[in-house]
Amino acid sequence: MTDSPESLADRLRSLGVNTGASSIKSRVIQKYRIEDVIQGNFELSTYGDIFVRKVLVDNAYTHGNTIFDNASISKRLIQWSSKSNKSVDLSSILFLDTETTGLSGGTGTLPFLIGVGKFTSEGFLTSQIFIRNPAEERAQLEQLNKYLVGIEAIATYNGKAFDIPILKTRYVINGFQSPFENLLHFDLLPLSRRIWKRRLESRSLKDLETNVLEFSRNQMEVPGWEIPVIYFNYLRSGDARPLEGVFNHNAIDIQSLAAIFLVLNKLAANPETKSIENTTDILSLAIQLETSGEIDKALSLYEQLLSQELPDRLFTELQLRYSRILKRNGDFEKAANVLYHKEELADIQVMIQLAKVLEHQQKNLDAALRYTENALEILESHATDLSLTTYQFQKTDLEKRKSRLIQKLLSSNK
């Protein structure tokens, strides 16, 4: 359930936190102050000092298997992830991630730590803006505005659904104008799902770290679900020591976000490269090219994959997609050859499509009838795996096709 602004304020007051405008300094006795635990500095704003931690990794830093180099941004990546034809430089992108008082969003959710990362001439710089109590929020938002100067785009992971709506709400509540309205937004989650959904069951940022970046977090890692509790405990106790893990978690999230961006940019810039070793990823890239209208490049990758190893279900998807384009282009003989390929897989949808080509384009009624009957046999053998509606629909369709083919054969033999 999303906290309302009132419920959040009540909760903060119950922890001994004064949320009034005059309480810029926490009334909680600081046993272990944030500046004693985290190496950072207080930066001056119109609304008081705000604590900022900066982490710089040098040029050519390697995050797992990914080198932080100053690459040119592929126009294809911009189109895939933001539906824009605008050109941007890597140095004009701000990588953003927040840590909040709740995980469900809503007007009562407060981003107590805002992390931003940027590629600079010195390396990749992560800046983390922290509020010691909610009264420092205006100073935090003003500080974020400073980091957005000269920025043309932001990059997030699920930021369109979570981080940015929360930040926009906080700007409005504090009487500020949102700085995000005219910025290009690379939300990498939807594209990551399309590229890696066939290989990975989960496409969380942490799963991509492990399986795509080959990066492992250290023992300082804090699970995301614990972070709101840690912050509320800090507000109550004044003990900032557990926040060290939260800062570490946020910094790694931003570095991993930048690394995933670089990986996706490399794939988009040259999807036909032979350096992509995972055939499942190649299939996903081909499908992404097809759905974005680059049919010739998709066909090239589909043809390449015919001679490579893929799990059965993915090879079936390859056959169906490749043959559909070939049929649309009028190349029915090649479409039939693609569907014949690895016939031993005996997938019902492949059999149906092959029967269609044989009947309507190649006029081979005997073969069309044979594959229709094969499809019926497969359907019966997998009946228990299908819903009753799907089973009945496919059976009716195949029996009609079989009956029509028999009638055509009888007519042609008269």
The mean-pLDDT minimum among 98-107, 264-273, 314-323 falls in: 98-107
Residue 5, pLDDT above cutoff 60 = no
Q: Same structural domain for residues 109 and 205? A: yes
| Residue 4 pLDDT greater than 80, yes or no | no
Which of residues 213, 235, 269 is at a domain's end? 269
Q: Is residue 363 domain-resident?
A: yes
Based on the fold, state whether residues 253 and 283 are members of the same structural domain. no
Residues 111 and 228 occupy one common structural domain:
yes
Q: Give me the CATH number covering residue 37.
A: 3.30.420.10
Summarised one tens digit per residue, pLDDT across range 205-253 is 999 999 999 999 876 778 888 999 999 999 999 999 999 999 999 999 9
Distance of alpha carbon 100 from alpha carbon 212, whole angstroms: 27
282/151 Cα distance (integer angstroms): 33
- The reported pLDDT for the residue numbered 28 is 46
What is the pLDDT confidence band of residue 345, given thresholds at 50, 70 and 90? low
| Total number of domains constituting the chain | 2
* 123-130 vs 48-58, strand pairing mode: antiparallel
Could you tell me if 287 and 355 lie in one domain? Answer: yes
- Mean pLDDT, the chain, whole residue set: 89
> pLDDT: is 19 or 140 the higher one?
140
88-135 pLDDT per residue, tens = 999 999 999 999 998 776 678 999 999 999 999 999 999 999 999 999
151 with 68, same domain: the answer is: yes
- Is residue 117 assigned to a domain? yes
State whether 162 and 126 are in the same domain.
yes
Residues 241 and 286 in one domain: no
Q: In this structure, is residue 274 part of a structural domain?
A: no
Domain end call among 232, 249, 269: 269
Domain limits for position 354: 279-412
| Rounded Cα–Cα distance for residues 396 and 278 (Å) | 39
Claim to verify: residue 321 and residue 187 sit in the same structural domain: no
Query: Residue 107 phi/psi, 5° resolution?
Result: -70, -20
Q: Identify which of 116-125, 333-342, 350-359 has the greatest average pLDDT.
A: 116-125
Give CA separation, 203 vs 69, 189, 190, in Å.
Answer: 24, 8, 10
- The three-state secondary structure class of 4 is coil
Instruction: Judge whether 331 lies within some domain.
Output: yes
User: Which domain CATH number covers 335?
Assistant: 1.25.40.10
Side chain identity, residue 202: S
Considering the domain architecture, whether residues 264 and 289 belong to the same structural domain is answered as no
One domain for residues 230 and 131: yes
167 domain-assigned: yes
Q: Rounded to whole angstroms, how far apart are CA atoms 220 and 349?
A: 49
In this structure, how many other beta carbons lie within 10 angstroms of the beta carbon of residue 144? 23
Identify whether residues 255 and 285 lie together within a single domain.
no
In a domain, 75, yes or no: yes
**Is residue 319 a part of any domain in this protein?**
yes
Structural domain ending residue among the three candidates 215, 236, 269: 269
Q: Does residue 348 sit in helix, strand or coil?
A: helix
Per-residue b/e over 244-265, b at no fewer than 16 CB within 10 Å? bbbbbbbbbbbbbbbbbbbbbb
Contacts of 271 (CB under 8 A, 6+ apart): 76, 285, 286, 288, 289, 297, 301
Q: Indicate the pTM of the whole model.
A: 0.84
Output the pLDDT for position 342.
66
Residues 48 and 13 in one domain: yes
Alpha carbons 375 and 367: distance in angstroms, whole number: 12
